[in-house]
């Protein structure tokens, strides 16, 4: 936590300090936060929000459209990833119609803005900023949520307390201290020693032991599937044959892997969660372990004698090296010799298709956690993983790209859901990825603390003080 500024990518402010125009309830249904209502105008090229009135920031300053304009400008200036899709090709301007009405104008329909950008564009007070300037603001930015920041020290802690000016119900937890402990083993040790009441991002291998010792557990599925991504841009590679990719899928015992490496915590890999638009229960991307089928498919593909396959994996992930070794041993059963290369930083995975294609001077397979299921809008998942137009995939299917492009221009949920389902049907058959497991963020807490999910979306979890009850 190098900052508590919500417009800073390195910011570490906890939930419930800042609010956005919209959010999600526990069933992942969009609800108003600072916005009272919203509607598309001009055939989807304009999105109008009616803002709630009589809301004040913890500083006492009233919330108006000027604060939205100010916050958007800060987000864009800081180049937050969540704002990356607001380019000159996708976003024109913000118009203030009156103090409680705003309109976002787009050059073309932008279905990603409402579910992705709006819930993550947290609003801060322009009036408070104008009083204290940039330096003062960075020390203590103020929001409209049920809590306010009372003190913080970079890389060490953030103290929060109830915001007396909050309009909603008073939470049971009146104050809390969030401590920074990047190392998972350290967090577990602190919980066991009674130095903290709860920890988040619990290492999966420690969950069962902590439960056995009487600590309560709360799981929150994350919008990431750990998966193998195949480079399919070069038709000469042996895994270009879908039978080979199916064989690889069958050869990896995902249940055993989950229990051995991950403590049985993560869920089975999926394209979409059951509550998402376009979900089709018949699409099962994570095949059950069946070595006989795997060997037969290799034989059918004319690859029974195997081949060499380079895998580039995320060594900076806690599970990276162990998972890479597990996959390597699994594929040896079907005569695929894996050559492993670990990449030690996240940015090394964030290149263009050309960069990825040239990592080893030849086609590769990547082992990483990709953002698909559980995002607020499934078209976002498709653009991030399967659309050549985004420039970060190694899968070029013109039919899938056409469906994605159509989905990006379709406001109606029913129609968009059909397009999403069609795209994933093709993807499921092509198998450009082999999903291994869906990540879960596990929090462990003392036995007198319980977690009941009250809100959804990508940015909420058991650290949300509103969701905690203390006996």
Residue 396: strand, helix, or coil: coil
Contacts of 278 (CB under 8 A, 6+ apart): 272, 378, 416, 417, 418, 419, 420, 421, 423, 424
Q: Fold for domain 22-180?
A: D-Maltodextrin-Binding Protein; domain 2 (3.40.190)
Is the alpha carbon torsion for 256, 258, 264, 270 positive or negative?
negative
What is the DSSP code (8-state) at residue 114? I
Would you state the structure tokens that stand for residue 19, as one six-digit string? 């609010």
Q: Do the first three CATH levels of 22-180 and 222-440 match, i.e. the same topology?
A: no
Question: What's the predicted TM-score (pTM) here?
Answer: 0.89
Residue the block writes with tokens 């800081």: 78
Angstrom CA distances, 238 to 100, 248, 305, stand at 59, 12, 12
- Residue 304 CA to residue 290 CA, distance in Å, equals 16
Nearest to 95 by CA among 126, 117, 72: 72
Would you state the structure tokens that stand for residue 177, as one six-digit string? 């201290």
Q: Is 426 exposed, middle or buried (0-12, 13-18, 19+ CB in 10 A)?
A: middle
pLDDT in tens, the chain (471 residues): 678 988 876 667 888 999 999 999 888 889 999 999 999 999 999 999 999 999 999 999 999 999 999 999 988 887 666 676 688 888 999 999 999 999 999 999 988 899 888 998 999 999 999 999 999 998 888 999 999 999 999 889 999 999 999 998 899 999 999 999 989 999 999 999 999 999 999 999 999 999 999 999 999 888 889 999 999 988 999 999 999 999 999 999 999 999 999 999 999 999 999 989 999 999 999 999 999 999 999 999 999 999 999 998 988 888 999 999 999 999 999 999 999 989 887 776 665 445 665 554 578 899 998 888 887 788 888 988 898 877 668 899 999 999 999 999 998 999 999 999 999 999 999 999 999 999 999 999 999 999 988 887 766 677 889 889 999
> Parallel, antiparallel, or unpaired for β 93-98 and 307-314?
unpaired
Nearest to 436 by CA among 203, 219, 228: 228
What is the DSSP code (8-state) at residue 354? H
Q: What are φ and ψ of residue 192, in 5° steps?
A: -60, -35
Give CATH for domain 222-440. 3.10.105.10
> How many helical (H) and strand (E) elements, i.e. helices and strands, does the chain have?
12, 18
Helices within 353-412 (DSSP H only): 353-357, 378-386, 398-408
Each domain of the chain, given as residue ranges in start order, spans: 22-180, 222-440
């Amino acid at each position: 936590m190098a900052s508590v500024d919500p417009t800073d990518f390195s910011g570490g402010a906890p939930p419930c300090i800042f609010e956005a125009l919209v959010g999600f309830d526990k069933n992942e249904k969009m609800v108003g936060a600072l916005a009272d209502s919203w509607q598309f105008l001009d055939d989807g090229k304009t999105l109008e929000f009616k803002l709630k009135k009589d809301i004040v920031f913890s500083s006492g300053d009233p919330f108006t459209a000027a604060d939205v304009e100010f916050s958007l400008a800060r987000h864009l200036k800081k180049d937050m990833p969540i704002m990356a899709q607001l380019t000159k090709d996708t976003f024109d301007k913000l118009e203030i119609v009156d103090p409680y009405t705003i309109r976002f104008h787009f050059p073309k329909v932008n279905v990603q803005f409402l579910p992705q950008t709006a819930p993550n564009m947290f609003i801060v007070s322009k009036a408070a900023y104008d009083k204290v300037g940039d330096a003062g603001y960075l020390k203590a930015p103020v929001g409209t949520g049920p809590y306010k920041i009372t003190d913080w020290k970079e890389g060490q802690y953030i103290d929060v307390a109830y915001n007396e000016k909050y309009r909603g119900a008073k939470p049971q937890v009146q104050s809390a201290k969030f401590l920074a402990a990047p190392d998972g083993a350290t967090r577990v040790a602190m919980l066991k020693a009674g130095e903290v009441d709860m920890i988040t991002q619990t290492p999966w291998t420690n969950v069962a032991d902590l439960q056995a010792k009487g600590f309560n557990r709360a799981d929150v599925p994350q919008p990431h599937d750990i998966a193998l991504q195949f480079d399919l841009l070069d038709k000469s590679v042996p895994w270009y044959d879908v039978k080979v990719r199916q064989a690889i899928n069958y050869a990896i015992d995902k249940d055993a892997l989950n229990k051995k490496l991950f403590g049985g915590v993560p869920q089975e890999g999926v394209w979409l969660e059951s509550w998402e638009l376009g979900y089709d229960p018949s699409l099962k991307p994570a095949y059950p372990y069946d070595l006989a089928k795997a060997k037969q498919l290799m034989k059918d593909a004319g690859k029974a004698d195997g081949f060499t396959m380079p895998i580039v994996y995320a060594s900076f992930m806690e599970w990276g090296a162990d998972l890479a070794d597990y996959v390597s041993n699994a594929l040896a059963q079907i005569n695929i010799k894996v050559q492993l290369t670990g990449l030690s930083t996240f940015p090394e995975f964030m290149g263009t298709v050309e960069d990825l294609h040239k990592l080893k001077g030849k086609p590769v397979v990547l082992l990483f956690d990709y953002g698909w299921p559980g995002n607020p809008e499934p078209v976002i998942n498709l653009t991030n993983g399967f659309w050549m137009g985004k420039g970060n995939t190694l899968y070029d299917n013109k039919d899938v790209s056409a469906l994605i492009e159509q989905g990006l221009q379709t406001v109606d949920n029913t129609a968009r859901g059909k397009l999403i389902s069609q795209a994933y049907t093709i993807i499921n058959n092509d198998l450009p990825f082999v999903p291994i497991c869906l990540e879960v963020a596990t929090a462990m807490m003392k036995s007198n603390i319980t977690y009941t999910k009250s809100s959804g979306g990508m940015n909420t979890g058991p650290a949300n003080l509103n969701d905690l009850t203390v006996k």
